[in-house]
Amino acid sequence: MDDFSRRHTPADGDSVATGSTNQDIWELWVPFALFGYALLAGTYFVVRSGGRWAENDSANLTQVIRAVAQSGALVPPSGDLYANGYAYAAISAALLALTGLSPSMLVQVVYPVVTALLILPAWSLYRELLGNRTAAMLASLLLFMQPEFMFVVLRGSHERVLRVFMLIALWMLVRSFRFHDRPHSFVMHVVFFYLAAFGLIATNALFGLSFILAIATAMAAAWVLGRWLLPLSPVARGVAGRFALVALSVTVLGFIVMFFLYPPASFTLRAFRDLAKNLVDLVVTTEVESNPYSSVALGWTSLEVYFLVSLGDYLLLGASAVVWLWQGVSWLRDRTRPPVLAAWLLWLLYGAFVVQGAVAIASDLTGSVLGTNLQHRAFPSFAMIATAMVVVPLGQLRLPALAKVVPGAALALLAGLALLKVTNEPSLSSKWMFYTPAELLALEWTDQHLHDSTIWVGLDERLSAAYDLAIGRSMQNNTWDIYNPKPFTRSFFISDVNRLQSARVDKALPATSRTNRVYDGGTTQLYRARALSPYQR
């Protein structure tokens, strides 16, 4: 019996004597129950704002979807493109053609709800890694209780498509180890793995490269540990050799995508080159270019609120690290018994994504061209593996019925806190994502009646992102001004929500006492500075 066979013997108290009936029922209802929970989470995300939510990444990618759908080209003549990949825009454009939906309806309402389907490949991956139905169910639930993961897959960015491909790729990779002696099944798993890897790179070349680096890191760790700890050699040699081939093959796929299929994605290589240089400078000079985490809690009413709604993230970090270290130490102590292959693969992948998280934090501190939120973008990849790691000891627990009430209540609390953070709950957050119908109507009127103007619309990008997502680019060559008004801005959009937000962040709105009120919708007003010369309008 091989390692995976031992890993997948009957568990969870199921006995072979009871037949397959109970097991079949379990296998049927658990994925549907998980899907139901994820569906409720996505529905709440939409309903909380009435389907009227927006943020910058979603707005920018919706513009790309419009451009691809209208032009029928992956690189639209308008210049609206997503440099890191084309798959998300291409898939979205195809869905628009098939369904007749508007881009805003697809992004704001449909996508958050259908994101629930993502829990199915997650369940399948965890079933392979953990070999335990209860543990797989718990890991899937925990993944959809991680605020950072939930936010990126529910909003309108490429992340939901990206995570589907990543979960399927990992699932096929892990599962293929079970079929080394069955060529037909092995080849099918390899084919599906490379199709998913191609989709991952085509969606986002940056994450495609990070996936390659994670596999390469796991390969290096397997090779080193296999030579250092002889009991690990039998399981380590096969993993290291296979991961080396996978890393090389996926690198070739990335080269094809970035230099032949979608040349704009070659930008990612230049970004990685700059990142490497910045990391060297950081180590050599120890001088921090910026500290993007110094204002991490400014988006919430208090630091305590931030840590409360982020509780799931910090618990996952701490608990998974403890389990990972515990597993490593236990293998060191008992060198006569090598780990089963599934546990070994999970352990290696966890370490690889931890390394990536550390590199992401260092990148943020250097002010890299990749942005100052790379750690935030890398955390969901880590969470996908960490949730499996943290339930390794929990899946074997046998709790009496009464004792299950406390863990159940804890999971419900984590789920509720995650949804509060994912939606940027207005009663707790200072960074709101919602907008009102009256605000959007007033912005449309403003764009129709002004041209070549700069219009101040708020203390942050809330309304500018809302217009770009729901309507699109200005047809009159107008520009939205946000944060502090520019000196030449003469038009100011004020709404009741703006006033409430101003009171929340304790920052004054532009003075309008010496301006003309040219639009008044009751809860929304547009003010225009008086002309200072005959040449001004």
Indicate the domain borders of the chain.
3-290+312-422, 437-529
Rounded to an integer, the average pLDDT of 198-215 is 92
- Give the separation between CA 497 and CA 293, rounded to whole angstroms: 28
pLDDT recorded at residue 131: 85
Most confidently predicted of 72-81, 283-292, 418-427:
418-427
Rounded to an integer, the average pLDDT of 217-236 is 79
> Does this model's pTM top 0.85?
yes
Rounded to an integer, the average pLDDT of 87-112 is 96
| pLDDT at position 480 over 90 | yes
Q: Which of 57-61, 155-159, 192-196 has the lowest mean pLDDT?
A: 155-159
Beta bridge partners of 494: 525
- Give the separation between CA 120 and CA 264, rounded to whole angstroms: 32
For residue 329, name the pLDDT band (cuts at 50, 70, 90). Answer: confident
Residue 280 neighbours by CB under 8 Å, 6+ apart:
none
For residue 13, name the pLDDT band (cuts at 50, 70, 90). Answer: very low
pLDDT recorded at residue 393: 83
Rounded to an integer, the average pLDDT of 23-52 is 86
> When comparing pLDDT for 102 and 375, which is higher?
102
- Give the separation between CA 430 and CA 501, rounded to whole angstroms: 7
Contact 153, 384 (CB under 8 A): no
pLDDT recorded at residue 31: 81
Strand order across the 515-520 sheet = 479-482, 454-458, 491-495, 524-529, 515-520
Rounded to an integer, the average pLDDT of 386-401 is 75
Beta strands 479-482; 524-529: pairing state: unpaired
pLDDT digits (tens, 9 = 90+) for 343-373: 889 999 999 999 988 877 776 666 655 555 6
For residue 4, name the pLDDT band (cuts at 50, 70, 90). Answer: very low
| pLDDT at position 228 over 90 | no
Rounded to an integer, the average pLDDT of 471-475 is 91
Q: Which two tokens stand for residue 148?
A: 């950072």
Nearest residue to 149 via CA among 387, 325, 354: 387
| pLDDT at position 11 over 70 | no
Percentage, residues of the chain above pLDDT 70: 83
- Give the separation between CA 479 and CA 498, rounded to whole angstroms: 18
pLDDT digits (tens, 9 = 90+) for 401-443: 545 677 778 889 999 999 999 999 999 999 999 999 999 999 9
pLDDT recorded at residue 486: 93
- Give the separation between CA 421 and CA 444, rounded to whole angstroms: 30
Give strand ranges (E) for 375-475: 454-458
Mean pLDDT, the chain, rounded, equals: 85
Q: Which two tokens stand for residue 527?
A: 């003010």
| pLDDT at position 301 over 80 | yes
How many C-beta neighbours within 10 Å does residue 129 have?
A: 26
Rounded to an integer, the average pLDDT of 374-387 is 88
Rounded to an integer, the average pLDDT of 248-256 is 92
pLDDT recorded at residue 6: 44
Cβ contacts of 133-137, under 8 Å, gap ≥ 24? 133/11, 133/12, 133/26, 133/27, 133/30, 134/11, 134/12, 134/395, 135/388, 135/391, 135/392, 135/394, 135/395, 135/396, 136/30, 136/395, 137/30, 137/33, 137/34
* Helices and strands of the chain, counted as H and E runs: 22, 5
